[in-house]
Each structure stands twice: as C-alpha cells, then as structure tokens.
C-alpha cells in the first residue's frame, strides 16, 4: 500500500486500522522526496475548502489535516508525527496535490534570495561575539 499518483490523492486507510501498523516510510511508498517541487522546511500549510470534504484518509494524513486548521510548518508536522521532516514533506505534498492543503512558501524562498540576514547584520553579530 502506498501513494498512487494516478489515483489523484493520498491513500485511504485500511479498514480497522487503529494506529500506525507499518513504518511511515511505507505510507510514503518509500519516497523520501515529494513528487512536486521540494518544499522549504519553513513552508506553512493550511486547509483548503476541499479538506472539509475529506474522505477516509490514513492516520498520518488525518493528523496533518487536523493540524492545518491553523497555519502549521513542516517542522511542526514532522514533530507531531514523530517522523523526519523529509517524510513530512512527502505527506504534505501528497495532500497538497490532492487539493486538501495549500502550501505557503516564504517570500525569500520563493524568490530565491535565500532569506538570510543581511551581511551587515552578520558582521555586527560576529563582532559582538568576538567582543565577549
């Protein structure tokens, strides 16, 4: 059992599944990268209107949908699921491609500038650390 991109959404959960029976890597079909663009770890996700129509999702997908009632980061999702961020990226990507989630990429990541502090700020920080 894994994600079937041709099916148009994340996999449904098996009947009677109360908790995680298989490793989460099995849920992702062994994938460690999303099928779409790689999501920066600082990306936030929120629910779409379609999420309210959500079907019978596997436990990990349901948890993500529940978390995304408010903006939530990939790091928070990974921590809540107790999985590596790479796995959280794959699961979020599956839900986004299926229309359950909207991914909000920070402007700095979207425009390719890196989003780090200005060199002047880093120099001042370094000077302050050296002065100690």
User: What are 77-129's pLDDT values in tens digits?
Assistant: 999 988 888 888 989 998 998 889 999 987 765 555 566 667 887 888 888 88
Q: How far apart are CA 78 and CA 25, in angstroms?
A: 13
Give domain status of residue 11, yes or no.
no
Residues 6+ apart with CB under 8 A from 78: 84, 85, 87, 88
What global pTM score does this model have? 0.63
At 90, list the tokens: 């794959």
Q: Which of 23-37, 53-67, 100-114, 116-130 has the weakest average pLDDT?
A: 23-37
Domain count of the chain? 1
pLDDT computed for residue 46 by the predictor: 93
Give domain status of residue 1, yes or no.
no
Q: 71: number of CA atoms within 13 Å, CB side?
A: 7
Mean pLDDT of 16-31: 60
Q: What is the mean pLDDT of the chain?
A: 75
Question: Domain range holding 30?
Answer: 20-131
Q: Residue holding tokens 């298989």? A: 22
Give domain status of residue 54, yes or no.
yes
């Amino acid at each position: 059992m894994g994600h079937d991109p041709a099916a148009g959404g994340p996999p449904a959960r098996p009947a009677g599944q109360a908790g995680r029976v298989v490793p989460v890597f099995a849920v992702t079909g062994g994938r460690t990268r999303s099928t779409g663009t790689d999501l920066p770890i600082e990306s936030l996700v929120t629910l779409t209107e379609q999420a309210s129509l959500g079907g019978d999702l596997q436990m990990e997908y349901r948890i993500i949908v529940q978390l995304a009632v408010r903006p939530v980061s990939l790091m928070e999702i990974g921590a809540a699921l107790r999985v590596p961020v790479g796995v959280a990226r794959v699961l979020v990507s599956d839900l986004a491609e299926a229309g359950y989630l909207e991914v909000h990429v920070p402007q700095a990541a979207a425009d390719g500038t890196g989003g780090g502090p200005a060199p002047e700020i880093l120099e001042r920080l370094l000077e302050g650390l050296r002065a100690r």
